[in-house]
Amino acid sequence: MTKVLRLPSELIAAGLAPPEKLGDLARVAARYAVAITPEVAALIDPEDPNDPIARQFVPDVAELTTTPDERADPIGDHAHSPVEGIVHRYPDRVLLKLVNVCAVYCRFCFRREMVGPGKQMLSPKKLDAALDYVAASPHVWEVILTGGDPLVLSARRLGEVVRRIAAIPHVKIVRFHTRLSVVSPDKITPALVRALKAPGKTTYVALHANHPRELTPAVRVAVARIVDAGIPMVSQSVLLRGVNDDAATLEALMRAFVECRIKPYYLHHGDLAPGTSHFRTTIEEGQALMRALRGRVSGLAQPTYVLDIPGGYGKVPVGPGYIDMCGEAGAMVEDVIGVRRAY
């Protein structure tokens, strides 16, 4: 298989869905974007009805069920967008949404109402306005390029944007959020890696992966190309029912990140995006998994479990607590196996 799969008929021809699902697939594809790269398709086991890679990328009729608490803009991007392309939720950093397309489309995407083929990209005039906003905001220390996936841009265009950001004196950190290394590792070329680096600035790359099988040998080579260029990497994952909602899978995923020289950063609780309720766990389940992880892997492999408060109120850690303060008597601290100890 050498092409990106976008049509329901192509998914069926590739063996990723049975023919009798054609109608359901078409209904989902009419609402939400579909794209599966050859590299992702090769990871899917068509004989496994519960394959965790297929669950992330192959459309499911459950996506057409929207619960009352779900919303088109679940983390409130629009409420914090002073100009198109900028989200300024926190004082010292902004999101710069260059593109609204991705190499693949995750079925649980929190921006699924905003991304897909044909969605508007930032025009040169709108990019000028976005960068003018950053330049006029001296407290902005970090610019985070997201979307969509900014790394789908050519090295030339990406490099031009990075150089323009680098010309803003008060911006010190440039961060990229991407899935490209995982879903199309051959696109991580030396030219693209060079384009990520801003003269006089520090570049970070945050890689999104949710299952250890995603970190194939080819992906590890692509990641090494970034890290060997002096660009530190962190991870972002989403806690997904049927994909990574067990301690063994999370342990393997976080260990794989560390082996690749990627520091586990965030484990996101599932956002209230439309049609994603079948992916979401409870926060209590997530906290239990984080407790299990704390007892199984070193600090290097511990992500922070976070919730983006619906409505645009920001991201907060929601991991388990280990200490009960007891006033002057001190505190009771719970160890990693659940025994309470006096402090």
- Catalytic position from the list 119, 126, 315, 322: 315
**Annotated catalytic residue within 24, 90, 241, 265:** 90
Question: Which one of the listed residues 102, 133, 255, 280 is annotated catalytic?
Answer: 102
**pLDDT reported for residue 1:** 62
Q: In three state form, how does the secondary structure of 245-288 look?
A: CCHHHHHHHHHHHHHCCEEEEEEECCCCCCCCCCCCCCHHHHHH
* 102 counts as catalytic: yes
Type and span of the H or E element at 315:
strand 315-317
Q: Identify whether 93 is a catalytic site residue.
A: yes
- Closest by CA position to 181, among listed 122, 233, 253, 109: 233
Contact assessment for residue 37 and residue 247, using Cβ atoms and an 8 Å cutoff: no
Q: Annotated catalytic, 225?
A: no
Residue length of the chain: 343
Measured CA to CA, the distance from residue 124 to residue 32 in angstroms comes to 27
Catalytic pick among 271, 280, 291, 305: 271
Is 315 annotated as catalytic? yes
Specify the pairing of strand 233-238 against strand 340-342: unpaired
For the chain (length 343 residues), average pLDDT per consecutive 10? 91 96 96 97 95 98 96 93 96 96 96 86 94 98 95 96 97 98 98 95 98 98 98 98 98 98 98 97 97 94 97 93 83 87 90
- Of these residues, 109, 175, 179, 280, which one is catalytic? 109
Q: How far apart are the first and last CA of the chain?
A: 60
The answer to whether the beta carbons of residues 270 and 276 sit under 8 Å apart is: yes
Indicate if 294 belongs to the active site. no
Alpha helix segments (H runs only) across 152-211: 155-166, 180-183, 190-196
Q: How far apart, in Å, are the Cα atoms of 80 and each of 73, 75, 110, 121, 313?
A: 11, 10, 16, 19, 10
- pTM of the prediction? 0.95
What is the model's pLDDT at position 327? 73
Is 51 catalytic? The answer is no
Q: Partners of 86 in the beta sheet? A: 96
Question: How far is the C-alpha of 6 from the C-alpha of 32, rounded, in Å?
Answer: 11
Residue 245 annotated as catalytic:
no
User: Which is catalytic among the residues 55, 97, 107, 111?
Assistant: 111
| 46, 74 contact by CB (below 8 A) | no
- Do the beta carbons of residue 61 and residue 23 sit within 8 Å? no
Concerning whether 89 is annotated as a catalytic residue, the answer is yes
Which of 73, 7, 1, 77 has the alpha carbon at shortest distance from 41? 1
CA angle (98, 104, 106) in 5-degree steps: 100
Rg (CA), the chain: 21
Q: Which residue matches tokens 């974007």?
A: 33
Question: Is 156 in the active site?
Answer: no
The one-letter amino acid at 161 = V
Q: Which of 106, 112, 133, 204 is catalytic?
A: 106
Q: Which of 27, 31, 93, 225 is catalytic?
A: 93
Contact 207, 178 (CB under 8 A): yes
Cβ(218)–Cβ(186) under 8 Å? Answer: yes
